[in-house]
Amino acid sequence: MRDWGERGKRGESVTESATTVPAPTVSFWVSRVPRRTCSRSSSIIPPLSSAFGSTLEIRVPSLFSMERRIVVEEFRRRDRPQLLLFLLLYVPAAVFASRDGTTEGVAALPFIDNSTETTVLMAVGRTAVLNCRVRNLGQNTLSWVRKKDYAILTSGRYVYSNDKRINMLHQDGSDEWPLQIKFVNVTDNGTYVCQVEPGLEKLSRTVNLQVLEPEAFILGSKEYHVDTGSKISLVCIIEKSPQPPEYVFWYHNGRMLNYDAVRGGIMVTVERGKKTHSRLTVDNAQVGDSGVYTCSAESTKPASISVFITEGIFRTPFSSS
C-alpha cells in the first residue's frame, strides 16, 4: 500500500506482493488542461460500483492549470478499501501540487485562525490593533480592506493607504498580520476585512472597530455652594470607556490640584469599574478655593463645575451695661 504513493508519483506501475492473485497495476500522470475546462471536483470512470475487473481511471483536478489522472488496471472488489485509503492520502497533495506538476515542497492549504478578536473597542486618541492570524500562508498575499469604502489599506507588508496613522506590524516568520491604526477617532468606526486569495478561493475574516469617546460628568448642578470652613465634596463619573482610566485628574481654575501642596486637606479617591467614580474632598474651604473645578482622564471629554465659597456671618457676644 505504501508503494502505491511512493512509486506512483514516479509514474511507475505498482505491483502488490501477493502470492495468490496478482494486484492491480496503478499508474498516474499529469496532463495540462486549460483552467476553464478543469473540473473543480474529482471524477472516477467508471463508477466504483461497476468497475470491478476493468481498468479504472480517476481524474484529480489541481488548483493550477493541470489535471492528474490515476489509472488502476484489473481493479477488483478486494482492492476497494486499499484504493480508497490511497486516494485519501494522495488526492489532497495532488490537488494542491506545485505548478511544475510535482508534489515536492507542497504547502498545506492556507486557512484563517478564527481565535482572534472580531470586535475591538478603543477610546478616542488611542492606538487600535486589528489582528488576523493565517496559517500556511506560503507565497499567498494577505490584504486588509476597509469595508465602508472598499479601500485597500495594506497588501502583504506594504501599506497602500495615504493615512500615516496606518501601519502593518507583521514580523518575518509570524502567522500574525496586525493592522495598526494610531490616534483613532469616531470616523474610524466600521468593519475591516483581512483576506487571502489562494488559487480560486478567497478566505476572509472581518473585524469590527468601535471607537468610543469616554465622557466625564460631575454629580449635581452646574454650581456648588458651601460656607467657609466647610468641606468641598465633588463626585466625578467617567463612562463609555473601554477600559477603566489609569488616572483621574482634578483641576482648579485650569491648574492641576497637587495633593501634597502646603495647603493640605485635599484628598482624591477612585473606584474603577465599568463606570469609574472619583471623589475630590477639600477640607476647611476658604474663599481662595472658589472657582471652576474640572475632572478629566486620558482620552476623556472633561466635565466642570463652578464652586462658590460664602463667608459665614460672625456675631460678637452681646454685652449690656
Say what the pLDDT of residue 3 is. 43
Do the beta carbons of residue 22 and residue 15 sit within 8 Å? Answer: yes
Distance CA 301, CA 212 (A): 11
Q: How far is CA 48 from CA 8, 153, 203, 205, in A?
A: 20, 50, 34, 39
**Secondary element (H or E) of residue 218:** strand 215-218
End-to-end CA distance of the chain: 129
Instruction: Specify the pLDDT at position 58.
Output: 56
Residue 314: its pLDDT value, please?
A: 43
- What pLDDT does residue 293 have? 97
Mean pLDDT by 10 residues, the chain (321 residues): 43 39 42 37 46 54 48 58 58 48 54 92 94 91 95 95 96 95 96 84 91 95 93 95 92 85 83 94 93 94 95 48 36
Structural domains of the chain in order of their starting residue, each with its CATH number? 2-95 (no CATH), 111-212 (2.60.40.10), 215-310 (2.60.40.10)
The helix or strand, by DSSP H or E, that contains position 90, with its residue range, turns out to be helix 80-95
Backbone torsions φ then ψ of 8, nearest 5 degrees: -65, -35
Residue 287 gets which letter from DSSP? G
Smallest Cα–Cα separation from 277: which of 217, 225, 214?
217
